[in-house]
């Protein structure tokens, strides 16, 4: 047995390295060709049904406008119904034939099932699921008085995408639909004091990279990892160490010094249109 283990230790590493160097060029070429084709032949969205979580502001709001301009039916989900209705009104003016507003909390599994069911019952189908809802947090772990205060970060950022995905998959398969996930560059890079937030985004990336294999070819999955984009998060709205969502003036001032991309410029990349 020891001889076999030694042999494997000698053989497996060079085989792995060779495999990586051989497969990476093919992956690069495939992604490049796919990128070109998507821009030359964008998906026709007229008449398709798109559900967007976190649609009351920021990237989610402008995603709604982008889909509306392309003639898609919309289902807008967020907790703030009044803000959603303002977005829905503008989306209607921009070209969406019908906009359904659903006030819901993505961190609650029953509410996720409800808004997926309402979307399908209203429109009869679901073509795109855009998992965009998120909450920010920026705090050193040792500064948190109760570590469970940060449970909402994972509940919203991770489970708030997984729950609706779970209920949407059967409907998306019927239409050969698409899942678009708004992750973050924080899921790839190390950011001091951004530990829980970064972990929630890294979990998203890993989950959907694996799910892509499970649901292909019936459903395609796009994971977007933007940097700093204008939103309530970059305006200082965070989950504080006390477990309350509030505007942190210190973080707002700090983030104000960092160049951010406008949500208007970011929406077309996130939508995959």
User: What tens-digit pLDDT sequence spans the chain (273 residues)?
Assistant: 667 676 657 766 776 766 666 665 665 555 556 556 555 566 889 999 999 999 998 889 999 999 999 999 999 999 999 999 999 999 999 999 999 999 999 999 999 999 999 999 999 999 999 999 988 877 778 888 888 888 999 999 999 999 999 999 999 999 999 999 999 887 787 777 778 888 999 999 999 999 999 999 999 999 998 765 565 555 545 666 666 665 665 655 555 555 555 555 555 555 555
pTM of the model: 0.78
128 and 252 fall within a common domain:
yes
The contacts of residue 160 (CB under 8 Å, 6+ apart) are 53, 106, 107, 112, 131, 133, 134
Q: Which residues are catalytic?
A: 197
37 and 48 fall within a common domain:
no
22 and 71 fall within a common domain:
no
Q: Which of these, 136, 133, 138, lies nearest to 191 by C-alpha position?
A: 138
52 and 11 fall within a common domain:
no
pLDDT for the residue numbered 102: 98
Contact 204, 187 (CB under 8 A): yes
Residue span of the structural domain in which 204 resides: 43-271
194 and 89 fall within a common domain:
yes
Q: Which of these, 100, 144, 102, lies nearest to 122 by C-alpha position?
A: 100
Instruction: Check which CATH number belongs to the domain holding 69 and give it.
Output: 3.40.50.720
Note the Cα 204 to chain centre separation in Å.
Answer: 8
Contact 111, 105 (CB under 8 A): yes
- CA distance linking residue 178 with residue 204, whole number of Å: 16
34 and 114 fall within a common domain:
no
99 and 194 fall within a common domain:
yes
63 and 112 fall within a common domain:
yes
257 and 153 fall within a common domain:
yes
The contacts of residue 150 (CB under 8 Å, 6+ apart) are 137, 139, 144, 196, 239, 243
Q: What is the DSSP letter of 159?
A: I
């Amino acid at each position: 047995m020891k001889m076999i283990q030694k042999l494997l230790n000698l053989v497996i590493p060079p085989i792995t390295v060779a495999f990586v160097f051989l497969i990476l060029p093919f992956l690069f070429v495939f992604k490049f060709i796919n990128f070109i084709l998507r821009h030359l032949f964008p998906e026709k969205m007229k008449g398709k049904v798109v559900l967007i979580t976190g649609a009351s502001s920021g990237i989610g709001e402008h995603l709604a406008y982008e889909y509306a301009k392309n003639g898609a039916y919309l289902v807008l989900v967020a907790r703030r119904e009044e803000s959603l209705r303002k977005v829905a009104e503008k989306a209607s003016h921009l070209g969406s034939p019908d906009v359904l507003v659903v006030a819901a909390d993505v961190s609650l599994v029953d509410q996720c099932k409800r808004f997926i069911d309402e979307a399908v019952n209203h429109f009869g189908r679901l073509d795109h699921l855009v998992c965009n809802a998120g909450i920010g947090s920026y705090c050193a772990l040792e500064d948190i008085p109760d570590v469970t205060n940060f449970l909402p970060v994972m509940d919203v950022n991770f489970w708030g995408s997984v729950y609706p995905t779970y209920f949407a998959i059967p409907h998306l398969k019927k239409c050969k639909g698409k899942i678009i996930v708004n992750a973050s560059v924080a899921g790839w890079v190390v950011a001091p004091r951004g530990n829980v937030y970064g972990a929630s985004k890294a979990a998203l990336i890993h989950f959907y990279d694996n799910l892509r294999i499970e649901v292909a070819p019936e459903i395609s999955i796009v994971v977007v990892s933007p940097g700093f984009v204008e939103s309530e998060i970059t305006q200082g709205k965070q989950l504080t160490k006390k477990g309350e969502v509030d505007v942190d003036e210190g973080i707002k001032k700090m983030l104000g010094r960092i160049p951010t991309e406008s949500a208007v410029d970011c929406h077309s990349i996130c939508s995959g249109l």
